[in-house]
Amino acid sequence: MLSLPIAMLVEYLLLQMVFQVILLSTDRWAEKDVNPALFSRELMRNSSNFLNDEEVNRDPQSLLMKAHAATSSIGSATVIIAMLEKTGTLKIASVGDCGLKIIRKGQVMFSIYPQEHYFDCPYQISSEAVGQTYQDAVVCSVNLMEGDTIVSGSDGLFDNIFDQEIISIVSESPGVDEAAKALAELARKHSVDVTFDSPYSIEARSRGFDVPWWKKLLGAKLIGGKMDDITVVVAKVKTVAAPEDEGGDIEQQQGDEQGIAVAVASAEQNEE
């Protein structure tokens, strides 16, 4: 983790709100005739309502605790909450297999890794007592600097796109809106490509999942993307400014340019 003794000129509340929650409900609730979107939507709404709560005190784990306690809908979801401080510190709490990566100077310099009970069975915040809670969250923070790009999303993104593809799209896109849309579209394309050796298929093989032995004799292996709902959030830090002196005010940037740019894109898919 890099230390950054500067303050950032950012619209940090905007990033808090947009980055606030990325959720993925499980298919098993649909099998029980429960709308799997209701739980995640209420959890997100509660997170928004408690965002400026004094007890939360801009702590993503505390925000998750209060939002979960206030959620009455039946269901479950993976969740990641990221809150950007004025000082440039991005504070993160994550339960499950949503992801977040920070790209700096053409390299991934920070990643959140998934929490799983076993392969393809992530931790989840749930309405049931057997589910995980805020106490199970991975909690961390990272200091950002000018030019950093934040890419966050559901597992439908990271199961279908390699880091180098993310870096290439971010570097080649004229803005975060274009980057978010391009990432969502590429993930969707890879997810339905049965010939694509995806991050998901590579991980599956490493966990012992593969084609039958007789297919291996013919040179076959388990490949293909993973069909899933895909959510992508892309944000870029545009300006930073050093304080005039310790404890002093942040210098104000001239002009109308915001300190960050944020874009969201998503792609819904129905598995056959």
Q: What is the pLDDT of residues 220-255, one digit of tens each?
A: 899 999 999 899 999 988 765 554 444 433 333 333
Give the residue among 200, 199, 93 at the shortest CA–CA distance from 152: 93
- Percentage, residues of the chain above pLDDT 90: 59
What length does the chain have? 272
Q: What is the pLDDT of residues 54-96, one digit of tens each?
A: 999 989 999 999 999 999 999 999 999 998 887 788 999 999 9
Mean pLDDT confidence for 192-215 = 94
pTM equals 0.82
C-alpha torsion 70→76→80→86, nearest 10: -10
For residues 100 and 111, the answer to whether their CB atoms sit within 8 Å is yes
CA distance 168 to 159: 17
- Dihedral (CA of 165, 168, 173, 175) sign: positive
For residues 25 and 37, the answer to whether their CB atoms sit within 8 Å is yes
For residues 226 and 196, the answer to whether their CB atoms sit within 8 Å is no
